[in-house]
Amino acid sequence: MNPLPYWLPPLVVAPFIGSFLGVLIQRLPESRAVVLGRSTCDHCGHRLGVADLVPIVSFVLSRRKCRYCGARIGVFPLAIELAALALAAWASITVEDGDLWMTCLFGWTLLTLAWIDLRTMMLPDVLTLPLLAAGLAATELIDPDSFASHGIAAAVGYFSLLAVAWSYRRLRGRDGIGLGDAKLLGAIGAWLGLALLPITLLLAACLGLLAAGCAALAGRRVAAATAIPFGPCLALAAWLLWLYGDRLIG
């Protein structure tokens, strides 16, 4: 009997992971219980059963309505489940067997952080700090000889943005970059290493400018003091460089 294709298990698991990520995105900023808290309808508060929580399938069969109160369900649950699936599919056609689960873990965490930052302008320590530790652990498994370099990259990533944030506040009298962004760049440094860290920051800055330009074109007023979440830009830059960065430095 032929073994299952190496890419199939992550694709099967991805929508369930996406469902859990949705819980994190909704509950972490509000300091609500993640593991012990039961899923309920946002409108009537009824506890949802197993049949209501099958990723993608339950959303489609419900026709976007709660079967207890009939209230309309937002598209967020489906969107995060499909996004997690898309990341797993992207990873499966880009990386080799041995790195697939690690890549999915990295991508799913970046997705969660980016989504939370977009919604709340927050990057929770409960995600960024374990991501940093996981990056160092992954380096130890993949390439132990580069562990020190990745550790230095984590420190450089954190303290460089910390210095920028301090300088901006001294010059402008207001916050420009949050400490969460600095911690996220530190975590990214732990995953990508020192060589890719400047490219990550440059690419993220370009993505931020692009986002501001798109917002202006869409009719939003964008000024120097307009707050734009930088976490999604860092996350996307890190994901692209994790997948394709070796072509730049190798």
Per-residue DSSP letters for the chain?
-PPPPTTHHHHHHHHHHHHHHHHHHHHGGGT--SSSPPPB-TTT-PBP-GGG-STTHHHHHHTTB-TTT-PBPPSHHHHHHHHHHHHHHHHHTTS-HHHHHHHHHHHHHHHHHHHHHHHHS---HHHHHHHHHHHHHHHHHH-GGGHHHHHHHHHHHHHHHHHHHHHHHHHHSS--S-HHHHHHHHHHHHHH-TTTHHHHHHHHHHHHHHHHHHHHHTT----TT-----HHHHHHHHHHHHHHTHHHH-
> What does pLDDT average to over the chain?
89
97-139 pLDDT per residue, tens: 889 999 999 999 999 999 999 999 999 999 999 999 999 999 9
pLDDT digits (tens, 9 = 90+) for 209-243: 898 888 778 777 766 556 788 999 999 999 999 99
Instruction: Give the pLDDT confidence of 144-167 residue by residue, as tens digits.
Output: 999 999 999 999 999 999 998 888
Q: What is the pLDDT of residue 223?
A: 63
| pLDDT value for 222 | 66
What per-residue confidence (pLDDT) applies to 71? Answer: 80
Task: Give the mean pLDDT of 57-72.
Answer: 82
pLDDT band, residue 8 (cuts 50/70/90): very high
Q: Can you give the pTM of this predicted structure?
A: 0.92
pLDDT digit string, tens, across residues 11-38? 999 999 999 999 999 999 988 877 766 6
Cβ pair 29, 120 in contact under 8 A: yes
Residue at 96: amino acid letter: E
